[in-house]
């Protein structure tokens, strides 16, 4: 039997990136001595008040259908959080609740582009972006940066990437995998390009709560009719498995997104939405706890990897990951990832899945237990030494 061309557009290297990770997960389930540093899922529990609210509502029978847009109290809470974080006043008509940021990105992609269109994404980018964009039939155009630039956006290259077919620019700030936060000067140039060429800006800001003060520069206020802001509770509130995400944008965008949500999701569980309201009510302190947690572990991992021949680390502005350039070892990121896991049972992620300029790096998550970080750094050091890398 044949499948639709769509299945080819949603597969590829981005999907293959997780093979070693899932091998490691299966090995850990079998009780093997594995260290997982390949995914941003910190060993932090969801805040207790959020759990208690969910349990309370679940026991109260809050298990029926909910509105496709999301319940009013949650949309109001998201609007208030967005207004506080970005200085851009919005109302509930600018908000739709979706099943995590990935679902919000998918819906946005389908709403802003289609066959024959182009969507530019800043490279390096999260591994699902190519499939998320190309599922619509649009073509992904990479606008790359380099390790020599600290993976900051190359604005001249971005301007050269724009064509009459450009419908949107997609980026994450803080970036995954690099942790780079776009600054005001960079965003000002991007805003002028968006005005001049009349394209959407899709701002993935799921890690914004982990930035200093829980804020990042945003174009939502400057370009309210062109910017779609994507966010979730996964990273900053330690709620990745709850699948609560949203998009904030102009009302017509939200209306189109609702039509998609009605046929692909049809509302999040009510007890989860009520718990999400509680989560947003305690967000400032909860996010500070996660920021402190990440800062300690980032410094611990950076110190543990320091001095390993053939490795050069790029410290993030924010987030849960360090990019380690392994090209001096003579290995690509993919080769390093697979050989490290085979030899030392440490699972990291090949940087090549995030872009062309990161083929020689691996992404290492530091959002885990401190003893695991210390152990992993020793194993990585031992692996590099055993392979004569960097000599």
Task: Output the 3-class SS for 78-116.
Answer: HHHHHHHHHCCCCCHHHEEEECHHHHHHHHHHHHHCCCC
pLDDT at 8: 75
Q: How far is CA 111 from CA 114, 188, 302, 378, in A?
A: 8, 25, 41, 47
Specify the DSSP class assigned to residue 46: P
Stronger pLDDT, 74 or 42, i.e. the higher one: 74
Kindly tell me if the per-residue pLDDT of 303 is higher than 70: yes
User: For 4, what's the count of Cα atoms within 13 Å in the CB-facing half-sphere?
Assistant: 6
Residue 275 domain boundaries: 64-282
Confidence of residue 284 (pLDDT cuts 50, 70, 90): very high
| In-domain check, residue 99 | yes
pTM here?
A: 0.92
Q: In this prediction, what percent of the chain has a pLDDT beyond 70?
A: 97
* Judgement on whether residues 315 and 173 belong to the same structural domain of the protein: no
| In-domain check, residue 262 | yes
* Judgement on whether residues 246 and 343 belong to the same structural domain of the protein: no
Nearest to 100 by CA among 245, 228, 202: 245
Number of structural domains found in the chain: 2
| In-domain check, residue 55 | no
Chain mean position to CA 189: 23
pLDDT at 24: 86
Specify the DSSP class assigned to residue 201: E
* Judgement on whether residues 17 and 127 belong to the same structural domain of the protein: no
Render pLDDT for 63-101 as a digit per residue (tens, 0 to 9): 999 999 999 999 999 999 999 999 999 999 999 999 999
* Judgement on whether residues 275 and 294 belong to the same structural domain of the protein: no
Distance CA 54, CA 76 (A): 19
Work out the average pLDDT over 276-301. Answer: 95
CB atoms within 10 A of CB 19: 12
Kindly tell me if the per-residue pLDDT of 141 is higher than 90: yes
| In-domain check, residue 317 | yes
* Judgement on whether residues 210 and 278 belong to the same structural domain of the protein: yes
Nearest to 278 by CA among 302, 244, 250: 244
* Judgement on whether residues 298 and 266 belong to the same structural domain of the protein: no
* Judgement on whether residues 220 and 102 belong to the same structural domain of the protein: yes
| In-domain check, residue 97 | yes
Compute and round to an integer the Cα radius of gyration of the chain: 21
* Judgement on whether residues 167 and 121 belong to the same structural domain of the protein: yes
Domain boundary (282, 310, 335) is at: 282
| In-domain check, residue 208 | yes
Chain mean position to CA 387: 33
301, 364 contact by CB (below 8 A):
yes
* Measured torsion, CA atoms of residues 314, 315, 321, 326, in degrees rounded to the nearest 10: 20
Kindly tell me if the per-residue pLDDT of 389 is higher than 80: no
* Judgement on whether residues 137 and 265 belong to the same structural domain of the protein: yes
* Judgement on whether residues 136 and 274 belong to the same structural domain of the protein: yes
Confidence of residue 287 (pLDDT cuts 50, 70, 90): very high
CATH of the domain at 339: 3.90.1150.10
Distance CA 238, CA 280 (A): 12
| In-domain check, residue 377 | yes
CATH of the domain at 201: 3.40.640.10
* Judgement on whether residues 24 and 73 belong to the same structural domain of the protein: no
| In-domain check, residue 159 | yes
Stronger pLDDT, 359 or 193, i.e. the higher one: 193
Mean pLDDT of the chain: 93
Domain boundary (282, 310, 337) is at: 282
Confidence of residue 27 (pLDDT cuts 50, 70, 90): confident
pLDDT at 16: 62
Work out the average pLDDT over 209-237. Answer: 95
pLDDT at 5: 79
Render pLDDT for 188-222 as a digit per residue (tens, 0 to 9): 999 999 999 999 999 999 999 999 999 999 999 99
Confidence of residue 387 (pLDDT cuts 50, 70, 90): confident
pLDDT at 17: 64
* Judgement on whether residues 233 and 340 belong to the same structural domain of the protein: no
Q: How far is CA 268 from CA 63, 243, 275, in A?
A: 10, 9, 11
pLDDT at 83: 96
Domain boundary (282, 311, 330) is at: 282
| Angle, helices 72-86/270-281, rounded to nearest 10 degrees | 30
Confidence of residue 15 (pLDDT cuts 50, 70, 90): low
């Amino acid at each position: 039997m044949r499948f639709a061309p769509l299945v080819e557009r949603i597969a590829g290297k981005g999907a293959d990136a997780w093979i070693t990770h899932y091998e490691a997960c299966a090995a850990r389930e079998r009780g093997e001595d594995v260290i997982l540093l390949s995914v941003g899922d910190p060993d932090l529990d969801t805040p207790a008040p959020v759990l208690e609210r969910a349990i309370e509502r679940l026991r109260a029978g809050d298990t029926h259908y909910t509105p496709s847009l999301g319940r009013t109290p949650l949309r109001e809470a998201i609007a208030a959080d967005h207004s506080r974080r970005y200085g851009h006043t919005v109302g509930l008509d600018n908000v739709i609740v979706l099943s995590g940021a990935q679902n919000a990105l998918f819906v946005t992609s389908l709403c802003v582009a289609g066959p024959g269109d182009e969507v530019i994404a800043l490279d390096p980018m999260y591994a699902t972006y190519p499939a998320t964009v190309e599922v619509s039939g649009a073509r992904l155009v990479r606008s790359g940066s380099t390790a020599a630039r600290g993976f900051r956006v190359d604005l001249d290259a971005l301007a050269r990437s724009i064509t009459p077919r450009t419908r949107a620019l997609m980026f994450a700030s803080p970036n995954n995998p690099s942790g780079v936060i776009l600054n005001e000067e960079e965003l000002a140039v991007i805003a002028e390009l968006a005005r001049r060429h009349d394209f959407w800006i899709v701002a993935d800001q799921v890690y914004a709560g982990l930035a200093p003060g829980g804020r990042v520069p945003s174009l939502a206020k400057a370009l309210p009719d062109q910017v779609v802001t994507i966010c979730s509770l996964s990273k900053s509130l330690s709620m990745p498995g709850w699948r609560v995400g949203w998009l904030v944008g102009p009302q017509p965008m939200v209306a189109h997104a609702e039509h998609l949500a009605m046929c692909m999701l049809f509302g999040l569980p009510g007890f989860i939405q009520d718990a999400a309201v509680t989560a947003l009510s305690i967000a400032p302190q909860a996010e500070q706890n996660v920021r402190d947690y990440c800062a300690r572990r980032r410094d611990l991992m950076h110190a543990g990897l320091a001095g390993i021949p053939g490795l050069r680390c790029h410290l993030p502005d924010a987030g849960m990951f360090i990019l380690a350039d392994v090209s001096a070892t003579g290995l690509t990121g993919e080769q390093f990832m697979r050989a490290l896991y085979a030899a030392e049972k440490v699972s990291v992620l090949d940087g090549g899945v995030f872009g062309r300029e990161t083929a020689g790096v691996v992404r290492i998550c530091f959002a885990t237990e401190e003893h695991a970080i210390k152990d992993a750094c020793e194993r990585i050091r031992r692996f590099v030494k055993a392979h004569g890398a960097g000599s």
